[in-house]
């Protein structure tokens, strides 16, 4: 295995809209290149996190190497790099793409091009990848491969007439895909003797090996003993092991040279030292310049995460630390809330990323969490010229000190069939969208372009989009920048006390409506107490909405006799347990889920 | 005074003509043949279990259900004979039988008289009649098989054959019930001659798995059949207390009212945690700090009444918790002296903070003797009880 001919390597990825069959095709490629027998195949080998499998999406980029014996009789090494399929992970996607030389574009034969198809294919083309299309799900009754081929040629402008027509699910025509990989994806270039230049496209933490860095060698060679330097973070370590990716396992090898995809371990303890997008070079013989495109990942969405049981704070800290080992894009710092005690302000790439982290904390670390409503990063320009990046609404300075505020804006593209254009446009208007234009993809399908404030789409925009288009609309966005906006902080007072964890920033025009709904929601969430509890929404001390939780009148079981006692005791225990899951604010007990209730205010349709 | 340890007996008869719409007790319809096999199984269980406790004296017996009055007087005598052979029943023991008007009333006047006379002859000296409501529409909604007239007939016969200790079960907070219809039910019952010695008044609970729960989720209980609000429920409850006091009853537990000397000793026994042996399908026992519960499969019970029984050894904390949440159900509350007798220490180490808080909230009252619920505390019993559970 020592000398690998560069011309026999193919580094590629698969890009697709969600659900168009990317992971299934990856499985078939792995299966049919014979590295694994069918029996060893678990469905969707690449997605090995439990959560990924359940959600059917790929969270972290991963890679696998297989060997394919082509029709020309030669053996080719395929490095398939799986990319996350969600807009939250755009940067990670771009780094994975940069590690490839070509991409397979999978398009659903029934649904055709969707918003993410476009976004992903443009991203691939931006990275100078050779893209060839594959039409999937041709066995569906509603498949229209010819229409989709024309659509690809018209809209994207790439050759599609000889695209393999496949069914990844049923293994139809996968051999055509394998041959096309050999024929259409270029072999890597780069000199194995040049100074080392490798692109980090992912990393995972292993408790024995430390950080395992996934990289594509662009130039040079790396082996055990090489002292490597991470050019952006400055970390320096000696290589302990190099190797490549078997399916689901790491297979050590002697060296990795230009054109190869593999991993490096170097007893790196901190995942922060290995930033995705960074360049690995030889500390003794460094390359002149790092690879282009490195960006420090910025969190777009923030929320407070608190342990339901205050005593579990150290556990939460440990869990976040561990998660961050595998996910450098997770940001957290300690914060304190009057209502919730000690916790963390956490930053995420997007709402999906937030949900995934939250679920992993609950599931893998068995933590009971209270999460505050997610918000975006606002820029607060103070009258003294200072600019604050606000991630926690409670830290908003006094209004008298604020000159103006800015909020992040995204460029959004929504693909929708013409019958739903009206309702989607209404939705975008409700969310303060600025209409940029419509492009017709086909006679009855259009791409709507909008500028939308990020804080209007982080809660439930996607759900609203789906429900107003009967599931047909697809959506993609990227951050455009910051714009000045009329924002106010809405405070919630429960029994006359302000609950910091419930405060949020909202556009002045929707403040009244949001405040009113918030009070209604909390009225349903907060159980009756011995006394009456007013719930108020206020802006800068002025109350704009009010509801009342009436005093508890009855809480008693009429009957309790012999055989019933055990059952009745269980009821009482449940009641007591329920109280433990409440947060005491002043003399009011607030259920934990109330803190998330700001999220679910979209009952407008 | 007999110094032997006491053991109350509960016998479960899980048969009904039909299941009421609100009922989640263990009961079902059955054939005469099953009934007779069940009586045999009961006797077998009595004898088997009785061996261990034969030295005990029985202060009270309670036939509950289901509908015990579905048994024939002969079957009941058989069980009573078996009890007397196995245990020493105190001469003045309270022996209650639950009785549903519909199960005797579809008999002719003579047959019904004969049946109740038979029960009395077998030893029953307290009858608990499940009237539930004196309003026929409400009875129909509840799925009861009797109407008010049928109850009147049963009640009259009960008195005629010599039952001098009669309880009537009533329910309020029924769907569609108003304060007025509830008052009317109460007045009809208080107008009975002679007046019942005891009344149990329960507010309806929507138990999971019942017909009522299904109707509720289907939205049947809206509009005219609206379920009374917490406020109305408590208004009915408060009215009941006042009206019954006027009529000469005193409340001795959250849902129970009795004329002087007629509190149900058997039920009080549960709340002060006397030992009891439960015989029959699904029954529970509490004996020397161990709770036993029988299996709930009729098939298996008929084959082997002792199989499928489980036991749970109550820890000291379990017992302390039960002492509180059972004892506090009673108007007399719990006494420091009783706690010290049972647990050998004062309760302050456990409860002084909880008591202080609930006294301050107006839910408990405290004196040198002990603590008890206030009127408001009775409305919020579970809220108070749950605080007495340990973490």
- B336-360, pLDDT tens digit by residue? 999 999 999 999 999 999 999 999 9
State how far the Cα of B129 lies from the Cα of B97, in Å rounded to an integer: 8
- Those residues with Cβ within 8 angstroms of residue A51's Cβ, 6 or more apart along the chain or in another chain: A59, A356, A359, A360, A363
Q: How confident is the model at residue B271 (pLDDT cuts 50, 70, 90)?
A: very high
- Per-residue pLDDT for B189 more than 90? yes
Summarize pLDDT for A73-106 with one digit per residue, the tens: 888 889 998 876 666 677 778 888 899 999 999 9
pLDDT at A34: 61
**Which of A528, A554, A561, A566 to mutate: most B Cβ within 10 Å?**
A554
Q: How confident is the model at residue B69 (pLDDT cuts 50, 70, 90)?
A: very high
pLDDT at A53: 46
B270/A561 CB distance under 8 A: yes
pLDDT at A22: 85
Instruction: Specify the range with the lowest mean pLDDT, choosing from A455-469, B177-191, B349-363.
Output: A455-469
pLDDT at A73: 85
**Which of A532, A549, A553 to mutate: most B Cβ within 10 Å?**
A553
Mean per-residue pLDDT, B71-80: 96
Residue in A with minimal Cα distance to B385: A572
| B152 CB-contact burial (10 Å; exposed 0-12 / middle 13-18 / buried 19+) | middle
Summarize pLDDT for A513-533 with one digit per residue, the tens: 889 989 999 999 999 999 999
Task: List the Cα angle A315/A320/A322 in 5-degree steps.
Answer: 95
Residue in B with minimal Cα distance to A573: B386
Count of CB contacts below 8 A, A vs B?
Answer: 93
Q: What would the two tokens of residue B176 be?
A: 């569609």
Sheet holding B250-253, edge to edge: B250-253, B256-258, B198-203, B166-172, B126-132, B88-99, B57-65, B8-13, B276-279, B284-287, B290-293, B310-313
CA distance B201 to chain A (A): 8
- Per-residue pLDDT for A605 more than 50? no
Question: Between B270, B379, B386, which is nearest A576 by CB?
Answer: B386
Residue in B with minimal Cα distance to A570: B386
pLDDT at A557: 87
Mean per-residue pLDDT, A327-335: 87
Whether domain B315-391 has CATH 1.10.10.920:
yes
**Which of B328, B382, B390 to mutate: most A Cβ within 10 Å?**
B382
Neighbours of B82 (CB within 10 A): 20
Q: What would the two tokens of residue B358 be?
A: 């609930």
State how far the Cα of A370 lies from the Cα of A448, in Å rounded to an integer: 37
Residue in A with minimal Cα distance to B9: A562
Q: Where are the alpha helices (DSSP H) in A393-543?
A: 421-430, 454-457, 461-468, 511-525
State how far the Cα of A109 lies from the Cα of A383, in Å rounded to an integer: 57
pLDDT at A44: 46
pTM of the predicted model as reported, rounded to 2 decimal places: 0.69
B64 vs A contacts (CB less than 8 Å): 561
Mean per-residue pLDDT, A436-458: 89
Q: How confident is the model at residue A295 (pLDDT cuts 50, 70, 90)?
A: confident
Summarize pLDDT for B241-266 with one digit per residue, the tens: 999 999 999 999 999 999 999 999 99
Question: Between B237, B286, B382, which is nearest A572 by CB?
Answer: B382
- Per-residue pLDDT for A61 more than 50? no
pLDDT at A442: 75
Question: Between B201, B383, B389, which is nearest A555 by CB?
Answer: B383
Work out the mean pLDDT of chain B and round it to a whole number. Answer: 94
Residue in B with minimal Cα distance to A555: B380
CB A224 within 8 A of CB A239: yes
B382/A556 CB distance under 8 A: yes
What are the φ and ψ backbone dihedral angles of A464, each rounded to 5 degrees? -60, -40
Q: Which of A164, A155, A85, A142 is nearest to A113 (CA)?
A: A155
Which residues of A sit within 8 Å Cβ distance of B? 530, 552-566, 568-569, 571-573, 575-576, 579
B230/A554 CB distance under 8 A: yes
- Per-residue pLDDT for B142 more than 50? yes
State how far the Cα of A270 lies from the Cα of A549, in Å rounded to an integer: 49
pLDDT at A598: 63
B203 vs A contacts (CB less than 8 Å): 558
pLDDT at A75: 86
Give A370's strand partners: A306
B286 vs A contacts (CB less than 8 Å): 562, 565
Question: Between A552, A557, A573, which is nearest B205 by CB?
Answer: A557
Which residue spans within A115-154 are E strands per DSSP?
A: 130-136
A566/B312 CB distance under 8 A: yes
pLDDT at A87: 61
B387 vs A contacts (CB less than 8 Å): 576
A553/B231 CB distance under 8 A: yes
* Alpha-carbon torsion angle A390, A392, A393, A395, nearest 10: -70
Question: Between A553, A554, A572, which is nearest B386 by CB?
Answer: A572
CA distance B219 to chain A (A): 19
- Per-residue pLDDT for A7 more than 70? yes
CA distance A550 to chain B (A): 10
Instruction: Specify the range with the lowest mean pLDDT, choosing from A198-212, A387-401, A492-506, B278-292.
Output: A198-212
CA distance B76 to chain A (A): 21
CA distance B270 to chain A (A): 6
**DSSP string over B108-123:** -HHHHHHHHHHHHHHT
B326 vs A contacts (CB less than 8 Å): 560, 565
Q: What would the two tokens of residue A50 be?
A: 């439990």
Summarize pLDDT for A145-169 with one digit per residue, the tens: 999 999 999 888 899 999 999 999 9
B231/A562 CB distance under 8 A: no
**A585 against A135, higher pLDDT:** A135
What radius of gyration do chain B's Cα atoms show?
A: 21
CA distance A331 to chain B (A): 35
A551 vs B contacts (CB less than 8 Å): none
Question: Between B201, B276, B380, which is nearest A555 by CB?
Answer: B380
CB B271 within 8 A of CB B2: no
- Per-residue pLDDT for A38 more than 60? no
pLDDT at A604: 45
Q: How confident is the model at residue B104 (pLDDT cuts 50, 70, 90)?
A: low
Provide the 8-state DSSP code for A155.
Answer: I
Q: What would the two tokens of residue A115 be?
A: 């918003």
State how far the Cα of B119 lies from the Cα of B110, in Å rounded to an integer: 14
Instruction: Specify the range with the lowest mean pLDDT, choosing from A158-162, A230-234, A441-445, A451-455.
Output: A441-445
CB A486 within 8 A of CB A448: no
For chain B, domain boundaries: 8-271, 315-391
Q: How confident is the model at residue A56 (pLDDT cuts 50, 70, 90)?
A: very low
A552/B380 CB distance under 8 A: yes
A557 vs B contacts (CB less than 8 Å): 205, 381-382
Residue in A with minimal Cα distance to B172: A558
Summarize pLDDT for A189-245 with one digit per residue, the tens: 999 999 999 999 888 877 788 888 999 999 999 999 999 999 988 989 999 999 888
How far is Cα of residue B95 from the mean position of the Cα atoms in its chain? 13
A558/B233 CB distance under 8 A: no
Q: What share of chain A is helix, strand, coil (3-state, %, to 5)?
A: 30, 35, 35
- Those residues with Cβ within 8 angstroms of residue A312's Cβ, 6 or more apart along the chain or in another chain: A367, A368
B321 vs A contacts (CB less than 8 Å): 569
A530/B380 CB distance under 8 A: yes
Q: Which of B197, B194, B192 is nearest to B264 (CA)?
A: B197
Give A542's strand partners: A539
CA distance B382 to chain A (A): 5
Instruction: Specify the range with the lowest mean pLDDT, choosing from A300-314, A587-601, B368-382.
Output: A587-601
pLDDT at B82: 96
Mean per-residue pLDDT, A107-123: 86
B363 vs A contacts (CB less than 8 Å): 530
Beta A249-253 vs A241-246: how paired, if at all?
A: antiparallel
Q: How confident is the model at residue A2 (pLDDT cuts 50, 70, 90)?
A: very low
HSE at residue B143, side-chain half, CA atoms within 13 A, is: 12
Q: Which of A493, A579, A568 is nearest to A529 (CA)?
A: A579
CA distance A524 to chain B (A): 16
Summarize pLDDT for A226-242 with one digit per residue, the tens: 999 999 889 899 999 99
pLDDT at A247: 64
- What CATH number should be reported for the domain whose range is B8-271? 3.20.20.70
A569/B293 CB distance under 8 A: no
Provide the 8-state DSSP code for A107.
Answer: E
Which residues of B sit within 8 Å Cβ distance of A? 10, 12, 64, 201-203, 205, 230-231, 233-234, 237, 254-255, 267, 270-271, 276, 278, 282-284, 286, 291, 293, 312, 321-322, 325-326, 329, 361, 363, 378-383, 385-387, 389
Q: How confident is the model at residue A59 (pLDDT cuts 50, 70, 90)?
A: very low
- Those residues with Cβ within 8 angstroms of residue A141's Cβ, 6 or more apart along the chain or in another chain: none
Q: How confident is the model at residue A353 (pLDDT cuts 50, 70, 90)?
A: confident
Q: How confident is the model at residue A579 (pLDDT cuts 50, 70, 90)?
A: confident
| A488 CB-contact burial (10 Å; exposed 0-12 / middle 13-18 / buried 19+) | buried
The DSSP H or E segment spanning B38 is helix B32-53
pLDDT at A599: 64
B231 vs A contacts (CB less than 8 Å): 553
A556 vs B contacts (CB less than 8 Å): 254, 378-382
Residue in A with minimal Cα distance to B235: A553
Q: How confident is the model at residue A267 (pLDDT cuts 50, 70, 90)?
A: confident
B234/A552 CB distance under 8 A: no
Q: Which of A243, A231, A313 is nearest to A278 (CA)?
A: A231
Packing angle, helices A461-468 and A421-430, rounded to 10: 160
């Amino acid at each position: 295995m020592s000398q690998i001919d560069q011309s026999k390597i193919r580094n590629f990825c698969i890009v697709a809209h969600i659900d168009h069959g990317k992971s299934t095709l990856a499985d078939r490629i792995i299966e049919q290149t014979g590295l694994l027998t069918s029996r060893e195949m678990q469905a969707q080998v690449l997605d090995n996190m439990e959560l990924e499998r359940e959600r059917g999406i790929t969270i972290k980029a991963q890679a696998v190497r297989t060997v394919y014996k082509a029709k020309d009789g030669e053996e080719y090494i395929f490095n398939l790099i799986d990319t996350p399929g969600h807009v939250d992970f755009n940067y990670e996607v771009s780094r994975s793409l940069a590690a490839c030389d070509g991409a397979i574009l999978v398009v659903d034969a029934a649904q055709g091009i969707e918003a993410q198809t476009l976004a992903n294919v443009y991203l691939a083309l931006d990275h100078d990848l050779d893209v060839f299309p594959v039409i999937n799900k041709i066995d569906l009754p509603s498949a229209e491969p010819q229409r989709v081929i024309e659509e690809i040629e018209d809209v994207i402008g790439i050759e599609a007439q000889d695209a393999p027509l496949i069914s990844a699910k049923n293994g139809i025509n996968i051999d055509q895909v394998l041959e096309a990989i050999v024929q259409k994806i270029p072999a890597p270039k780069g000199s194995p003797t040049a100074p080392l230049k490798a692109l980090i496209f992912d990393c995972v933490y292993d408790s024995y090996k430390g950080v395992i860095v996934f990289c594509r060698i662009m130039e040079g060679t790396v082996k055990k003993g090489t002292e490597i330097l991470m050019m952006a973070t400055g970390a320096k370590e000696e290589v302990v092991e190099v190797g490549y990716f078997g399916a689901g396992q790491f297979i050590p090898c002697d060296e990795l040279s230009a054109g190869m995809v593999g991993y490096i371990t170097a007893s790196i303890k901190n995942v922060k030292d290995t930033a995705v997008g960074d360049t690995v070079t030889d500390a003794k013989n460094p390359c002149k310049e790092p690879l282009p495109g490195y960006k420090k990942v910025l969190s777009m969405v923030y929320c407070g995460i608190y342990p339901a049981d205050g005593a579990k704070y150290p556990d939460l800290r440990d869990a976040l630390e561990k998660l961050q080992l595998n996910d450098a894009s997770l940001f957290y710092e300690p914060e304190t809330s009057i209502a919730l005690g000690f916790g963390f302000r956490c930053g995420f790439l997007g709402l999906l990323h937030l949900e995934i982290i939250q679920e992993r904390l609950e599931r893998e670390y068995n933590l009971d969490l209270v999460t505050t409503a997610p918000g975006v990063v606002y820029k607060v320009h103070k009258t003294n010229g200072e600019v604050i990046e606000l991630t926690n609404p409670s830290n908003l300075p006094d209004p008298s000190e604020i000159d103006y505020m800015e909020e992040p804006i995204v460029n959004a593209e929504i693909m929708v069939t013409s019958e739903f254009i009206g309702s989607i446009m209404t939705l975008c208007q409700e969310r303060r969208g600025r209409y940029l234009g419509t492009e017709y993809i086909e006679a009855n399908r259009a791409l709507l372009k909008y500028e939308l404030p990020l804080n209007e789409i982080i809660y439930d925009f996607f759900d609203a989009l789906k429900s107003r288009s009967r599931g047909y609309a697809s959506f993609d966005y990227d951050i455009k920048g910051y714009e000045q906006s009329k924002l106010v902080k809405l405070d919630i007072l429960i029994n006359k006390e302000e609950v910091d964890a419930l405060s949020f920033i909202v556009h002045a025009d929707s403040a009244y409506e949001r405040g009113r709904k918030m009070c209604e929601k909390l009225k349903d969430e907060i159980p009756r107490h011995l006394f009456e509890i007013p719930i108020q929404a206020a802006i800068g001390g002025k109350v704009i909405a009010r509801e009342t939780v009436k005093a508890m009148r009855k809480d008693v079981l009429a009957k309790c006799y012999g055989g019933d006692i055990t059952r009745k005791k269980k009821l009482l225990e449940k009641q007591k347990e329920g109280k433990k899951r409440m947060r005491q604010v002043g003399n009011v007990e607030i259920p934990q889920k109330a803190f998330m209730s700001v999220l679910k205010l979209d009952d407008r349709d | 005074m007999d110094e032997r340890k006491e053991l109350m007996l509960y016998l479960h008869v899980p048969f009904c003509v039909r299941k009421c719409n609100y009922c989640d007790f263990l009961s079902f319809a059955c054939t005469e043949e099953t009934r007779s096999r069940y009586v045999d199984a009961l006797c077998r269980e009595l004898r088997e279990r009785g061996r261990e406790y034969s030295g005990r004296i029985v202060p009270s017996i309670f036939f509950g259900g289901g509908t015990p009055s579905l048994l024939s007087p002969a079957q009941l005598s058989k069980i009573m004979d078996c009890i007397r052979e196995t245990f020493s029943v105190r001469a003045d023991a309270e022996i209650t039988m639950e009785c549903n008007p519909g199960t005797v009333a579809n008999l002719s006047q003579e047959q019904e008289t004969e049946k109740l006379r038979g029960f009395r002859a077998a030893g029953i000296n307290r009858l608990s009649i499940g009237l539930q409501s004196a309003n026929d529409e409400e009875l129909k909604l509840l799925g009861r098989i009797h109407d008010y007239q049928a109850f009147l007939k049963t009640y009259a016969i009960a008195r005629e054959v010599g039952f001098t200790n009669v309880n009537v079960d009533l329910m309020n907070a029924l769907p569609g019930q108003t304060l007025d219809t509830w008052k009317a039910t109460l007045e009809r019952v208080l107008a009975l001659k002679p007046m019942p010695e005891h009344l149990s008044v329960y507010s309806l609970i929507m138990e999971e798995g019942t017909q009522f729960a299904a109707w509720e989720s289907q939205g049947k209980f809206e509009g005219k059949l609206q379920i009374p609000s917490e406020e109305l429920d408590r208004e009915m409850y408060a009215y009941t207390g006042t009206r019954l006091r006027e009529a000469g009853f005193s409340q001795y537990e959250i849902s129970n009212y009795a004329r002087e000397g007629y509190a149900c000793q058997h039920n009080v026994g549960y709340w002060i945690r006397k030992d009891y042996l439960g015989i029959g399908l699904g029954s529970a026992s509490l004996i020397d700090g161990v709770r036993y519960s029988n299996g709930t499969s009729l098939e298996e019970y008929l084959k082997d009444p002792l199989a499928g029984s489980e036991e749970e050894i109550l820890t000291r904390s379990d017992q302390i918790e039960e002492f509180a949440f059972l004892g506090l159900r009673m108007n007399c509350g719990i006494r420091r002296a009783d706690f010290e007798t049972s647990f050998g220490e004062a309760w302050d180490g456990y409860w002084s903070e909880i008591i202080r808080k609930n006294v301050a909230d107006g839910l408990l009252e405290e004196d040198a003797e002990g603590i008890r619920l206030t009127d408001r505390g009775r409305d919020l019993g579970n809220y108070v009880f749950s605080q007495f559970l340990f973490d």
